[in-house]
C-alpha cells in the first residue's frame, strides 16, 4: 500500500501514518460486514426454506382434504342415484308391467354406465389435480 501510494501520488508514507491506520480499520470493518451479511443471508435462506416447507405441507394437506371431500361427495351422489334407480325398478317390478320394467332396466343400465364414466372422470380429475399440486 505504501509503494502504491508513493507510485500513484508521489507521497511516501511511514508505518505509523494515520492514513494507513484508517486503511487497516476500513479493511477490518469491511471483513466484519462481509461476515455479518453472509450470516444474515444464511438466516434468510433458512427462513425461506422453512416457510416453503410449511407451505408444501399445508398445500398437500389441503389438496388431500379436497380430494377426499370430492370423492366422498361423488360417492354419496352415486349412491343416492343408484338407490333411486333401484327403488324405481322395485316399484315397476311390483306393478307387473313388463315393458316398463324393461325400460327401467335399460335406463338403470345407462345410468350405471354414466355413473361409471363420471366416476372415472372424477378419478382422472383428482389425479390430475394431485399431480399439478405436487
Question: What is the model's pTM?
Answer: 0.42
Of 93-97, 99-103, 117-121, the least confident: 93-97
Which of 12-16, 31-35, 70-74, 119-123 has the highest mean predicted lDDT (pLDDT)?
A: 31-35
Band (pLDDT 50/70/90 cuts) for residue 98 is low
Q: Give whole-number Cα distances, 113 to 9, 65, 92, in Å.
A: 93, 28, 21
Band (pLDDT 50/70/90 cuts) for residue 23 is confident
Give the C-alpha separation, 96 to 113, whole Å: 26
25-83: per-residue pLDDT in tens? 888 899 999 999 999 999 999 999 999 999 999 999 998 888 888 888 888 888 888 88
Amino acid at each position: 500500500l505504501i509503494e502504491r501510494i508513493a507510485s500513484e501520488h508521489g507521497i511516501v508514507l511511514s508505518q505509523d501514518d494515520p492514513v494507513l491506520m484508517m486503511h487497516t480499520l476500513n479493511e477490518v470493518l469491511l471483513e466484519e460486514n462481509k461476515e455479518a451479511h453472509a450470516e444474515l443471508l444464511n438466516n434468510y435462506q433458512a427462513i425461506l426454506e422453512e416457510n416453503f416447507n410449511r407451505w408444501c405441507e399445508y398445500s398437500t394437506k389441503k389438496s388431500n382434504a379436497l380430494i377426499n371431500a370430492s370423492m366422498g361427495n361423488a360417492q354419496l351422489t352415486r349412491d343416492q342415484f343408484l338407490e333411486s334407480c333401484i327403488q324405481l325398478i322395485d316399484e315397476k317390478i311390483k306393478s307387473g308391467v313388463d315393458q316398463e320394467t324393461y325400460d327401467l332396466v335399460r335406463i338403470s343400465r345407462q345410468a350405471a354406465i354414466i355413473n361409471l364414466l363420471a366416476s372415472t372422470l372424477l378419478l382422472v380429475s383428482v389425479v390430475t389435480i394431485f399431480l399439478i399440486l405436487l
